DNA sequence: TGTACATCAGTGAACGCGCGTTCACTGATGTAC
DNA sequence: TGTACATCAGTGAACGCGCGTTCACTGATGTAC
């Protein structure tokens, strides 16, 4: 009884879904104090989780340790999360969501690819561990649920739109043609082959520079990583077709 | 006594250094059976370590677990490694050494940058975990000893040489000029600014594509990662200055 | 507004597990004469 | 070739630790009439 109760609680509390059971994500207004409290505690747990990840890495994440920091007994957290795995999944989802929101907000104000690139870099520098949780060494045995690949596609969509606006006639390339034949990842975005190629390359190149910078591989090298980032960006946005 | 004995043993056995105490790495021929045996066991331990990393990630590396797999008691391994940290350090060093050797061997046979790129990719695909141990999410609290940054520079030197041969007059860029002012990482390699820029970009772009591929970020995307790699390589090696 | 009941948050004890590491010891292997 | 000694590999017990998770329970909070 206590067991099933805890489980049901942990699952239902995901987004503070109110009585109505609406999965729309709309705030129904009919949020009970208990639900507010649950959401608050869940948030607090995640905050401590991020601190812990920052200090000892994602694999050292421990519910017991978080409980200790919160001044609460270990088993108490099982009311809020079904277990360690659920917590990690949610952290990853939150990280993706945060990045997608940041990118989308910038895209909404008409940012061009260079603008989005800076949003990405700022987001990554603000919390390198969050970046690595998404784009770093895969957590062994972990597989992203579908929801997350969906968020990933949202980000891609914004990149594609920004590139379409900047360079709608990006020259077609052999690899662009290949991408056009395998465009599942682009959803139903109407970007032409040349733009598909640009957007994908945009992503991989920025990731290359960013991940090496964040991992500290440039620290012994004395040069300024920001300037390398700008140089790559300049190369990407320079029309040369 | 037993303690100091074990420590001394663990340190001394690093490279099967013989009586002569030569640090040259030359096989003296005067290797005692015991030293051979030690080297053999150390190698075996590392092999199991790699298997374990492949299955559960570097952070799950455990001396006890390795001992169990080897059919030996846990403390036995302390004769061969001072502790978990020394084992990890050596795995990282071995990984760097392996990559540097692969690159250097190819460079020795006159491989151009594209050739070195394929060596890198093949090396990474052969054992993704080894690649991530070097270029992935940093192990929390771990700092690479100097020896390792030295190996890293060896790799850079080969890249610089290959690029100098291919495109000695690579156009100078603003960032290339910046690199020329901060060229510690290039050792005393005489590559001109344009080549410094090329070689560094070569590295970051290939890493961008490779690391996303190895981390599985392309799996849901249907396109062929090898073709993306080739496309990036083609772009890098296409003269456009 | 007040009472009776249901729901839920959090506790503390317990389970079994594996970790890194130290230590005193046994038995085998190599070395010196 | 044989004996005496030193070196070394590996054992098993032990230390203290933290982990995830289950369970029966207490006390507080919310709900229905």
> Straight-line distance from CA A6 to C1' C5, in Å?
21
For position B173, what pLDDT does the model report? 95
Residue A21 binned pLDDT confidence (cut-offs 50, 70, 90): very low
Chain position carrying tokens 């690579």: B170
Residue A99 binned pLDDT confidence (cut-offs 50, 70, 90): very high
pLDDT digits 0-9 by tens, B36-54: 999 999 999 999 999 999 9
Kindly state the average pLDDT of the residues B72-87.
96
Q: How far apart are CA B206 and CA A138, in angstroms?
A: 19
Q: Of A29-38, A53-62, B108-117, where does mean pLDDT reach its minimum? A: A29-38
Percent of chain B at pLDDT exceeding 70 = 86
Please say if the pLDDT value at position A142 is more than 90: no
Please say if the pLDDT value at position A193 is more than 80: yes
Kindly state the average pLDDT of the residues B154-176.
97
Residue A15 binned pLDDT confidence (cut-offs 50, 70, 90): very low
Asked if strand D comes closer than 7 Å to B2 Cβ, the answer is: yes
Kindly state the average pLDDT of the residues B57-82.
96
Nearest nucleic acid nucleotide to A85, CA to C1' distance:
D20
Please say if the pLDDT value at position B231 is more than 60: yes
**DSSP per-residue letters across B55-116:** HH-GGG--HHHHHHHHTS-GGGGGGT-SSHHHHHHHHHHHHHHHHHHHHHHHHHTT--HHHH
Which of residues B192 and A6 earns the better pLDDT score? B192
Nearest-by-Cβ selection for A137 from B136, B141, B221: B136
For position A208, what pLDDT does the model report? 98
pLDDT digits 0-9 by tens, B177-191: 999 999 988 988 999
Kindly state the average pLDDT of the residues A132-137.
96
Q: Of B36-45, B53-62, B194-203, where does mean pLDDT reach its minimum? A: B53-62
For position B22, what pLDDT does the model report? 34
For position B174, what pLDDT does the model report? 97
For position B155, what pLDDT does the model report? 98
Asked if strand C comes closer than 7 Å to A22 Cβ, the answer is: no
For position A240, what pLDDT does the model report? 63
Which of residues A91 and A20 earns the better pLDDT score? A91
For position A36, what pLDDT does the model report? 93
Please say if the pLDDT value at position B7 is more than 50: no
For position B25, what pLDDT does the model report? 35
Q: How far apart are CA B218 and CA A178, in angstroms?
A: 14
Residue B240 binned pLDDT confidence (cut-offs 50, 70, 90): low
Half-sphere exposure of B210 (CA within 13 A, CB side): 28
Asked if strand D comes closer than 7 Å to B72 Cβ, the answer is: yes
For position A30, what pLDDT does the model report? 67
Alpha-carbon separation of residue B218 from A185, A199, A203 (angstroms):
9, 14, 12
A207/B175 Cβ within 8 A: no
Q: How far apart are CA A47 and CA A59, in angstroms?
A: 16
For position A215, what pLDDT does the model report? 96
The nucleotides of chain D lying under 7 Å from a protein CB are 8-14, 18-25, 29-31
Kindly state the average pLDDT of the residues A115-123.
98
Which of residues A208 and B13 earns the better pLDDT score? A208
Strand ranges for chain A from DSSP E: none
Which residues fall within 8 angstroms of residue B207, CB to CB, at 6 or more apart? A208, A211, A212, B135
For position B142, what pLDDT does the model report? 78
Which of residues A188 and A30 earns the better pLDDT score? A188
Asked if strand D comes closer than 7 Å to B84 Cβ, the answer is: no
Nearest-by-Cβ selection for A223 from B60, B152, B179: B179
Q: How far apart are CA B125 and CA B131, in angstroms?
A: 8
Mean pLDDT of chain B: 88
Residue B81: CB atoms within 10 Å: 25
With beta carbons under 8 A apart, name residues in chain B contacting A232: 201, 204
Residue A40 binned pLDDT confidence (cut-offs 50, 70, 90): very high
Residue A139 binned pLDDT confidence (cut-offs 50, 70, 90): confident
For position A22, what pLDDT does the model report? 34
Residue B29 binned pLDDT confidence (cut-offs 50, 70, 90): low
Q: Is B157 exposed, middle or buried (0-12, 13-18, 19+ CB in 10 A)?
A: buried
Mean pLDDT of chain A: 88
| Cβ proximity of A138 and B131 under 8 Å | no
């Amino acid at each position: 009884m206590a067991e099933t109760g805890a489980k049901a609680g942990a699952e239902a509390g995901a987004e503070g879904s109110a009585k109505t059971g609406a999965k729309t994500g709309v705030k129904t207004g009919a949020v009970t104090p208990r639900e507010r409290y649950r959401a608050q505690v869940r948030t607090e747990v995640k905050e401590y989780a991020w601190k812990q990840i920052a200090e000892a890495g994602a694999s050292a994440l421990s519910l017991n340790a978080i409980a200790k920091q919160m001044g609460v007994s270990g088993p108490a957290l099982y009311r809020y999360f079904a277990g360690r795995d659920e917590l990690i999944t949610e952290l990853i989802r939150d990280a993706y969501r945060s990045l997608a929101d940041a990118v989308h907000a910038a895209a909404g104000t008409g940012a061009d690819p260079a603008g989005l690139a800076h949003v990405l870099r700022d987001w990554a520098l603000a919390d390198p561990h969050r970046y690595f949780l998404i784009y770093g060494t895969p957590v062994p045995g972990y597989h992203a649920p579908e929801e997350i690949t969906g968020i990933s596609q949202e980000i891609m969509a914004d990149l594609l739109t920004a590139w379409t606006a900047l360079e709608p006639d990006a020259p077609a390339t052999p690899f662009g043609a290949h991408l056009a034949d395998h465009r599942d990842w682009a959803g139903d975005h109407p970007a032409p082959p040349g733009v598909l190629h640009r957007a994908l390359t945009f992503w991989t190149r920025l990731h290359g520079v960013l991940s090496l910078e964040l991992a500290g591989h440039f620290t012994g090298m004395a040069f300024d990583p920001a300037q390398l980032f700008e140089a790559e960006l300049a190369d990407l946005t320079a029309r040369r077709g």
